[in-house]
């Protein structure tokens, strides 16, 4: 089976518009969560989110094309452009052997909301002709493939909060099985809309700490009361190992394991068994290495954080064998379908720089969450193998393991 490495990275979220500024802010414990400005949240029980502010999509697309695509696609194009530039691919790259693997949990929710209102108030003839092609999840990959001329497989994962991670594992499988030599992975989300916030609030999934947005997302803390919506995108260029070495590419790391599972338990409540089996599958595939850091799904919800802690302990044979584990969702919120790829980029940069991002807003210990969550600030460490977890509604789970080369 062919080996797969990462040679390009891109990222945008509520604390930075590029991978370097965003990673620096994450490690410094900066928080991008604040009162919502995208729409008026006054009538909502939840008024906070991690918005990407001051981003002009016309910097990465023509003003004419901006109108044809939803906000999540704007973010994805920005991240993909950065990753492709970072990969520094040669001009003679065979684009027929270069594919796309995209991911999003919801896709164009702002466009769906906007055009539904237009339908109700102004009738069907006033719906935008760009509504459907601008809102479909797979059009993220469509726009990006057109932008960069990739003609290999064009795939999309729509698996809730695991979509970004599954998009990576699908790309790895494609290269391993010789379906492509290179894959551009991009996942993006922008669901901070009235119907998005209202819908998640209605199911009691979101934090209601409206009076203190900066401490509202508090993974593993005993006072956690739900996740905070975030938005953004990330992108990774994946290549077959031998070709990357031959062209002298900078390699961030190798993907040595991935695991996927289904809970078959509940539409929204995560199980312990499903995530544990995904971790075990990735760990076995990777050859059961010593793991130096776990980037947790760590949503700041009561059940996820408890179950994820238990699953990691089960995987590694007890608390005493567990490495440091942290969640960056206190800094940027939960970016849903983009979370897995944002966190993968964070893991690879953490290995590059030898630093573990902190879990912020941890104040009160929870007896069910008793691991080392790196709560005192970013920590210098030698990171050779890291694991990243993603779990989604519907009981869909994905886990990745990266190795430094």
User: So which residues are the catalytic ones?
Assistant: 161, 297, 334
Beta carbons of 30 and 360 less than 8 angstroms apart? no
Show the beta-strand stretches assigned E in 280-384.
293-295, 325-326, 355-356, 379-380
- Select from 23, 128, 20 the least CA-distant residue to 70: 128
CA distances from 394 to 159, 170, 193 (A): 8, 19, 22
- Select from 233, 250, 63 the least CA-distant residue to 141: 233
Structure token pair of residue 347 = 């893991």
Which residues sit opposite 356 in a β-bridge?
379
CA–CA gap between residue 276 and residue 310 (Å, rounded): 8
3-class DSSP state of 38:
coil
Residue 239: enclosing H or E segment and its boundaries? strand 232-240
- Select from 324, 334, 329 the least CA-distant residue to 376: 324
């Amino acid at each position: 089976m062919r080996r797969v490495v990462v040679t390009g990275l891109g990222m945008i979220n509520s604390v930075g518009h590029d991978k370097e500024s965003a990673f620096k802010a994450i490690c410094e414990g900066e928080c991008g969560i604040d009162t919502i400005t995208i729409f008026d949240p006054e009538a909502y029980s939840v008024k906070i989110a991690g918005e990407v502010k001051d981003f002009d999509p016309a910097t990465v697309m023509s003003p004419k094309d901006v109108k044809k695509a939803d906000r999540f696609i704007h973010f994805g194009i920005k991240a993909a452009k950065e990753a492709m530039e970072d990969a520094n691919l040669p001009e003679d790259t065979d684009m027929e052997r270069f594919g796309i693997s995209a991911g999003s949990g919801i896709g164009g929710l702002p466009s769906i909301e906007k055009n539904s209102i237009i339908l109700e108030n102004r009738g069907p003839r006033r719906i935008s002709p760009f509504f459907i092609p601008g809102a479909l999840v797979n059009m993220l990959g469509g726009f990006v493939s057109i932008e960069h001329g990739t003609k290999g497989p064009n795939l999309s994962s729509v698996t809730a909060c695991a979509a970004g991670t599954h998009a990576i594992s699908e790309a790895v499988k494609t290269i391993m099985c010789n379906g492509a030599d290179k894959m551009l992975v991009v996942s993006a989300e922008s669901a901070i809309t009235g119907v998005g916030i209202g819908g998640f609030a209605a199911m009691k999934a979101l934090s209601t700490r409206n009076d203190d947005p900066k401490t509202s997302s508090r993974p593993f803390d005993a006072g956690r009361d739900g996740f905070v919506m975030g938005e953004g995108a990330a992108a990774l260029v994946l290549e077959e190992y031998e070709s990357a070495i031959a062209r002298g590419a900078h390699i961030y790391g190798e993907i040595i394991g991935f695991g996927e599972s289904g809970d078959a338990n509940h539409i929204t409540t995560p199980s312990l068994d499903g995530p544990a089996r995904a971790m075990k599958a990735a760990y076995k595939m990777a050859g059961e290495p010593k793991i130096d850091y776990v980037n947790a799904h760590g949503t700041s919800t009561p059940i996820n954080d408890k179950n994820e802690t238990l699953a990691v302990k089960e995987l590694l044979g007890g608390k005493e064998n567990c490495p440091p584990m942290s969640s960056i969702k206190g800094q940027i919120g939960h970016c849903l379908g983009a979370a897995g790829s944002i966190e993968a980029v964070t893991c690879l940069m953490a290995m590059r720089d030898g630093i573990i991002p902190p879990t912020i807003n941890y104040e009160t210990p929870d007896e069910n969450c008793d691991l080392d969550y790196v709560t005192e600030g970013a920590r210098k460490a030698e990171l050779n193998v890291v694991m990243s977890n993603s779990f989604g509604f519907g009981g869909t789970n994905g886990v990745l393991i990266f190795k430094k080369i």
